[in-house]
Amino acid sequence: MKIVKENAAFLSNFEVLALLKGLQSDKKASGGKAAAARTVPNLATVSYETITYLEGTACARQTAEHIEDFLRQISALPFKLSKVEKLQLINHRPTSPVEIQLLIEESEERLSDEDIITLLDLVERTLPPREDEEPAEDEGDQGGDEEAMQE
């Protein structure tokens, strides 16, 4: 096997999940036995584990429209982010300022507190959360109940 063009493009987790599911369904449709004999050993295991992991993340609920909407709205913001930083935001779906600092290089110098809040709001509005994630308002309510119970 020869690599023609290394790093031709970066893929989001959503795109990787769609690609692997497509390959998996193609393999099932073609019978799988002959194709399995020609594939790299353990490829099925790696594919299965990757799909299983990605289905537990927010990308399992994303659609191409969600990502396009996010990219369109983030391009309209007054500050600029690199393609890789935008991809990181899509893949990780940050929910706190600390996560923004981890994903965006030199965020302290490049972004104000208002910019970070704007980014978090944009992520919350355009990218769906994981299946098991509670909305932010519910988390605050639950925390208050716990404090009341402890008193």
pLDDT digits (tens, 9 = 90+) for 16-43: 999 999 988 887 777 655 555 556 778 8
Q: Within a domain: residue 80? A: yes
CB–CB of 10/84 below 8 Å? yes
Q: Within a domain: residue 138? A: no
Distance separating alpha carbons of residues 98 and 76, to the nearest angstrom: 23
Residues 30 and 69 in one domain: no
Q: Within a domain: residue 4? A: no
How many domains does the chain divide into? Answer: 2
Dmax (CA) for the chain in angstroms is 66
Q: Which amino acid is located at 126 in the chain?
A: T
Residues 52 and 93 in one domain: no
Containing structural domain, residue 53: 13-60
Could you read off the pLDDT of 94-135 as tens digits, one per residue?
999 999 999 999 999 999 999 999 999 999 999 998 777 665
Residues 98 and 49 in one domain: no
Helices of type H across 13-75: 13-29, 33-38, 43-55, 64-75
